[in-house]
């Protein structure tokens, strides 16, 4: 396994083409806007080195028998699925951010079972190629970005019918040695902190769209790939001096638009090319795993937010008020409900034909459907407890001013034994998670990441087993079954 230092150094060796605020970034690793997101991924390496987190952060490779980072692991049991969720909760707690590496883990698990089944039915050789890639990432402890979401253009028409054919990533040329692809993948979490990109189709494709039914891996700095970094609320605070106003100085997340400008992919890296009948399964399984993930990562961030809200109440001297206690209870209740869903869909997982385990799809979609709602209520309650000062207080620069700093300390003190600076710090952390850079991960990503709310409702409807429920009701109501 890599050390965190080796991971950082490995990113410095990449020749990524990244645009941020209209400029080509020479050194993404040390750029102050990007650096916090790197630190979050680096935490996945740091914790894996520590004995007290080893059980969650590492696993045993079923290919080699060696200890590997769990983010490179294929789930071989329900125990693995449960530990995955617990690992994600742990990382959410330690970083209070989107730590990005889970998309790749969910991608490799879904590609594994789908390529196996494709080969069985169609006689293709994709699974063997994928397994070689998996061996590489396990041996070298690499970060994989799972790239699914296309920009999509007009959502009302199919990929091949779009006015611009590049609005969904597609194959533009097939050669003897590989394929050439063109298009883009949007909202790519952690792409700039990744070594490899694993591309998957974003929707179930039909025969007319077979050029869009493509899955492959490519190095993140391959010729023809470039990134346009996504803005986040309060992002330019990272360019300021000091560490209070950002709320979370060390950690963060990022998303980027990843453009594929006629990128060549050798056949050995291609895992689907035109087998459109399997595109739906790949989308469904990746979405399922990723919806499970949110029952871990968002819960961990929620733990931090709840702790921050409790501290804010203490620093205000309001912690004994019954409504404050009840609001904190409600936050914990909602947070643990999300966790319950993550654990439930894991515990009810089952073995696929390839031997790797998949979550219970119904419960994973229930998990994510709840994640589209509960963080919003948890943040609302956190803001309620924090009070308006969270969004009106002066800057750190003002606090450090030789004259007005004393005025700020005087008027923004809560309870006498707590320094004003501590009160400001905890309020800035709440601000960071509820409407700052981390709100990208905790709120809007909770809404749309791994599929928007309607996507889960469609899956819940499909999995609802309604006929069986109707027959249960008929039996109790003594209605003949042939009715």
Partner 1 sequence: MTLSIKFCGGCNPRIDRGRIADQIRNYFLKYGMSVIFNDLEADIILYLSGCTANCAERYTKCDKMSVVIAGTTVNAIEVYERQLSIVVIEKITELLE
- Among positions 80-99, residues that touch partner 1 (CB under 8 A) are 83, 86-87, 89-90, 93
User: Could you tell me if 200 and 271 are in contact, meaning their C-beta atoms sit under 8 angstroms apart?
Assistant: no
Query: Residue 142 phi/psi, 5° resolution?
Result: -100, 160
CB of residue 332 to partner 1, shortest distance in Å: 11
CB of residue 281 to partner 1, shortest distance in Å: 30
| Environment class of 211 (CB within 10 Å of its CB; exposed 0-12, middle 13-18, buried 19+) | buried
Q: β-strand 23-24 against 18-20: which pairing, if any?
A: antiparallel
Rounded to 5°, the CA angle 108-112-114 comes to: 120
Bridge partners, 266 (sequence order) = 178
Quick one: which of 30, 55, 208, 377 contacts partner 1 (CB under 8 A)? 55
Contact call for residue 53 and partner 1 (CB under 8 A) = yes
Q: Which is nearer to partner 1, 371 or 455 (CB)?
A: 371
Quick one: which of 20, 38, 43, 57 contacts partner 1 (CB under 8 A)? 57
d(CA 133, CA 107): 13
Bridge partners, 442 (sequence order) = none
Q: Which region, judged by CB under 8 A, interacts with partner 1, from 46-54, 233-241, 368-376, 413-421?
A: 46-54
Q: Which is nearer to partner 1, 34 or 105 (CB)?
A: 105
CB of residue 149 to partner 1, shortest distance in Å: 29
d(CA 20, CA 34): 9
Quick one: which of 34, 56, 98, 386 contacts partner 1 (CB under 8 A)? 56
Query: Residue 443 phi/psi, 5° resolution?
Result: -105, -70
3-state SS assignment for residue 145: strand
User: Could you tell me if 244 and 232 are in contact, meaning their C-beta atoms sit under 8 angstroms apart?
Assistant: no
d(CA 225, CA 266): 15
Q: Which is nearer to partner 1, 31 or 86 (CB)?
A: 86
Which member of 72, 234, 273, 297 is catalytic? 297
The verdict on whether 189 is a catalytic residue reads yes
Residue whose C-alpha is closest to residue 253's, from 57, 448, 71, 39:
39
Q: Which is nearer to partner 1, 50 or 468 (CB)?
A: 50
User: Could you tell me if 290 and 319 are in contact, meaning their C-beta atoms sit under 8 angstroms apart?
Assistant: no
Rounded to 5°, the CA angle 444-445-451 comes to: 115
CB of residue 247 to partner 1, shortest distance in Å: 23
The verdict on whether 98 is a catalytic residue reads yes
Quick one: which of 13, 15, 26, 52 contacts partner 1 (CB under 8 A)? 52
Which member of 290, 341, 396, 437 is catalytic? 290
CB of residue 366 to partner 1, shortest distance in Å: 21
Q: Which is nearer to partner 1, 91 or 143 (CB)?
A: 91
Q: Which region, judged by CB under 8 A, interacts with partner 1, from 50-58, 137-145, 436-444, 465-473?
A: 50-58
Which member of 255, 284, 383, 431 is catalytic? 255
- Among positions 257-316, residues that touch partner 1 (CB under 8 A) are 300, 303
CB of residue 51 to partner 1, shortest distance in Å: 4
CB of residue 324 to partner 1, shortest distance in Å: 22
Residue whose C-alpha is closest to residue 260's, from 222, 291, 232:
222
CB of residue 4 to partner 1, shortest distance in Å: 18
The verdict on whether 170 is a catalytic residue reads no
| Environment class of 387 (CB within 10 Å of its CB; exposed 0-12, middle 13-18, buried 19+) | middle
d(CA 376, CA 373): 6
Q: Which region, judged by CB under 8 A, interacts with partner 1, from 47-55, 199-207, 266-274, 401-409?
A: 47-55
Quick one: which of 4, 10, 76, 79 contacts partner 1 (CB under 8 A)? 79
Which member of 45, 58, 72, 102 is catalytic? 102
Contact call for residue 65 and partner 1 (CB under 8 A) = no
The verdict on whether 294 is a catalytic residue reads yes
Q: Which is nearer to partner 1, 83 or 238 (CB)?
A: 83
Cα end-to-end span (Å), the chain: 62
Bridge partners, 258 (sequence order) = 185, 227
Distances (CA, A) of 156 to 91, 160, 207: 38, 12, 18
d(CA 442, CA 371): 10
Which member of 44, 58, 189, 218 is catalytic? 189
Contact call for residue 51 and partner 1 (CB under 8 A) = yes
Number of residues that bind partner 1 (CB under 8 A): 16
Q: Which is nearer to partner 1, 78 or 319 (CB)?
A: 78
The verdict on whether 195 is a catalytic residue reads no
CB of residue 330 to partner 1, shortest distance in Å: 19
Q: Which region, judged by CB under 8 A, interacts with partner 1, from 54-62, 116-124, 361-369, 387-395?
A: 54-62
d(CA 206, CA 158): 9
d(CA 273, CA 174): 10
Residue with tokens 């996945």: 44
Which member of 168, 212, 276, 294 is catalytic? 294
Q: Which residues are catalytic?
A: 98, 102, 189, 255, 290, 294, 297, 445
Contact residues for partner 1 (CB under 8 A)? 51-57, 79, 83, 86-87, 89-90, 93, 300, 303
């Amino acid at each position: 396994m890599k050390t965190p230092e080796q991971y950082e150094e490995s990113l410095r060796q990449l020749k990524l083409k990244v645009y941020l605020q209209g400029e080509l970034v020479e050194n993404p690793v040390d750029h102050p806007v990007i650096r916090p997101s790197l630190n979050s991924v680096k935490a996945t390496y740091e914790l894996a080195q520590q004995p007290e987190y080893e059980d969650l952060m590492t696993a045993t490779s079923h290919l080699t028998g060696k200890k590997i980072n769990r983010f490179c692991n294929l789930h071989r049991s329900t125990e693995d699925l449960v530990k995955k969720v617990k690992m994600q909760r742990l990382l959410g707690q330690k970083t209070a951010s989107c730590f990005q590496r889970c998309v790749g883990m969910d991608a490799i698990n879904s590609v594994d079972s789908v390529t196996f089944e494709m080969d069985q039915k169609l006689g293709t050789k994709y699974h063997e190629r994928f397994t070689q890639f998996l061996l590489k990432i396990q041996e070298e402890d690499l970060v994989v970005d799972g790239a699914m979401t296309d920009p999509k253009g007009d959502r009302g028409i199919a990929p091949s019918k779009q006015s611009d054919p590049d609005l969904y990533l597609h194959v533009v040329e097939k050669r003897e040695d590989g394929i050439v692809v063109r298009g883009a993948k949007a909202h790519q979490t952690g792409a700039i902190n990744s070594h490899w990109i694993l591309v998957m189709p974003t929707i179930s494709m039909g025969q007319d769209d077979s050029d869009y039914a493509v899955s492959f891996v490519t190095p993140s700095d391959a010729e023809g790939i470039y990134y346009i970094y996504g803005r986040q609320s309060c992002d330019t605070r990272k360019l300021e001096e000091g560490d209070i106003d950002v709320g979370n100085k060390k950690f963060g997340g990022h998303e980027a638009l990843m453009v594929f400008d006629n990128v060549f992919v050798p056949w050995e890296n291609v895992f689907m090319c035109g087998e459109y009948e399997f595109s739906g399964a790949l989308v469904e399984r990746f979405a399922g795993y990723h919806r499970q993930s949110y029952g871990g990562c968002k819960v961990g961030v929620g733990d931090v937010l709840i702790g921050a809200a409790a501290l804010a109440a203490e620093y205000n001297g309001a912690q004994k008020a019954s409504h404050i206690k009840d609001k904190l209870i409600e936050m914990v209740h909602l947070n643990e409900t999300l966790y319950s869903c993550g654990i439930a869909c894991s515990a009810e997982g089952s073995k696929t034909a390839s031997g790797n385990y998949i979550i219970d799809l119904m419960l994973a979609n229930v998990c994510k459907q709840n994640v589209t709602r509960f963080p919003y209520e948890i943040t609302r309650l956190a803001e309620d407890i924090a009070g308006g000062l969270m969004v009106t207080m002066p800057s750190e620069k003002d606090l450090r001013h030789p004259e007005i700093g004393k005025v700020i300390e005087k008027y923004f003190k809560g309870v006498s034994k707590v320094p004003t600076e501590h009160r400001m710090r905890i309020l800035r952390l709440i601000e960071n998670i509820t409407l700052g850079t981390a709100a990208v991960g905790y709120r809007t990503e909770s809404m749309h990441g791994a599929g928007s709310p309607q996507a889960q409702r469609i899956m819940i409807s499909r999995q609802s087993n309604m006929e069986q429920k109707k027959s249960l009701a008929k039996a109790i109501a003594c209605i003949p079954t042939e009715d």
